[in-house]
Amino acid sequence: DSGVTQTPKHLITATGQRVTLRCSPRSGDLSVYWYQQSLDQGLQFLIQYYNGEERAKGNILERFSAQQFPDLHSELNLSSLELGDSALYFCASSYRQRNTEAFFGQGTRLTVV
């Protein structure tokens, strides 16, 4: 168990809908990272927050947004969902801004139908 908790584990929704994925980092970790994992693209970095502030952005679509709350948990919001958004979404956390010791959650499997 990495100590990173992601909910829900599975999510099935229809195209055009909006969903929210939640991540609770390991106790004491200040950085949260979101990754998307699909079969053809591997693990793609989406966005990083450190102590409530956005620190880095990767290939995150404009339909996607995230935030980190004062208690350090983070939410990834995906809207206007398309079939191609079906993937595993991972959250990782680390103490420092630079994730040399990042710990991953078990992921949320999103299926868009």
Partner 1 sequence: QQQVKQSPQSLIVQKGGISIINCAYENTAFDYFPWYQQFPGKGPALLIAIRPDVSEKKEGRFTISFNKSAKQFSLHIMDSQPGDSATYFCAALSGAGSYQLTFGKGTKLSVIP
Residues contributing to the site for partner 1 (CB under 8 A): 2, 4, 31, 33, 41-45, 48, 50, 55-56, 58, 90, 92, 97-107
Least distance (Å) from partner 1 to the CB of residue 59? 10
Q: Name which of 13 and 37 has its Cβ closer to partner 1.
A: 37
90 with 34: CB under 8 angstroms?
yes
* Interatomic CA distance for residues 105 and 74, integer angstroms: 12
Least distance (Å) from partner 1 to the CB of residue 21? 13
User: How many other CB atoms are found less than 10 A from the CB of residue 31?
Assistant: 24
Least distance (Å) from partner 1 to the CB of residue 38? 10
Q: Name which of 18 and 47 has its Cβ closer to partner 1.
A: 47
- The sign of the CA dihedral 95, 98, 104, 108 is positive
Q: Name which of 3 and 84 has its Cβ closer to partner 1.
A: 3
Looking at residue 84, its amino acid is: G
